[in-house]
Amino acid sequence: MSDENPTLSELLEQEGMDRDKVRILLAAVHPVDLAQDLAEMDLDERIRIIEMLDPDVAAQALAVMGHDSKVALVDKMGEEKLGAIIDMMPDNAVADILDHLPHHREKLLINVDTTKKADIEALRQYPPDTAGGRMTRNFVTVPADTTARQVIQEIQGAVDPHTVDFIYVTDENGRLKGISSLARLMLHKPDEKIGDFMRKEVSVVGPNTNQEEVARLAQKYRIRAVPVVDVDM
């Protein structure tokens, strides 16, 4: 937090500061700042703060928290609160925690649905420093004859539509044929088909590609995500 605002410890020490007020105040703090402040606290106090937060806020902070601090926190947290937080965390962050705390698998996945569990286990097949270990299943795929209006409807039904920057166009066998940014999509008429304006030249990586190469491609093409495809696609 900035010098103009009280620290987490000071918030807790203020007379009359109740859980609801702390929860509301911390919901406005950027997850990275919150994670850094939490990492500087002792473990018991860190747990106390996390358990005050709404699950979505706690999930964002936990996802960006330093590895050692995150693992130590998860190892000691109560099952009920942790389950609600894990359900809202990115799959790759959960997979990373599981790799270091395999004995807590049941505790970690207690509130996670079958689809998300399968996605997490799929990520664990690859080393965490590869594209396969970092990929997300939160994306939208459509066939080439899908209209712009229909694509928007697909985005609205996505797991988290706020994270959808690109739409991936695939054929009947699930092979990637092109992409369109959300911004480009919005420039076209509702009845135009995405196959008519998608970008066909797409940079892709395989699941075993090193994360540094993925970062290089993302920086080169100024994109937030690089498609991960099977080697035979």
What is the percentage of the chain residues whose pLDDT exceeds 90? 32
Mean residue pLDDT across the chain: 85
Q: What is the domain partition of the chain in residue ranges? A: 8-125, 140-221
Q: What residues contact 5, with CB distance under 8 A and at least 6 apart?
A: none
Tell me what pLDDT residue 16 has.
53
Please tell us whether the domain made up of 8-125 is placed in CATH 1.10.287.70: no
Q: What's the pLDDT tens digit per position in 65-75?
A: 988 888 889 88
At residue 154, φ and ψ (nearest 5 deg) are -65, -40
> Of the ranges 1-5, 100-104, 170-174, which is most confident?
170-174
8-125 and 140-221 share one fold? no
Tokens at 15, concatenated? 């007379």
For residues 179 and 32, what is the distance between their CA atoms, to the nearest angstrom? 30
- Residue 5: pLDDT above 70? no
Q: Which ranges of the chain would DSSP assign to H, the alpha helix?
A: 8-13, 19-26, 31-39, 43-52, 55-64, 67-76, 79-86, 91-100, 105-108, 114-123, 131-134, 148-156, 182-185, 194-197, 211-221
CATH topology for 140-221?
A: CBS-domain (3.10.580)
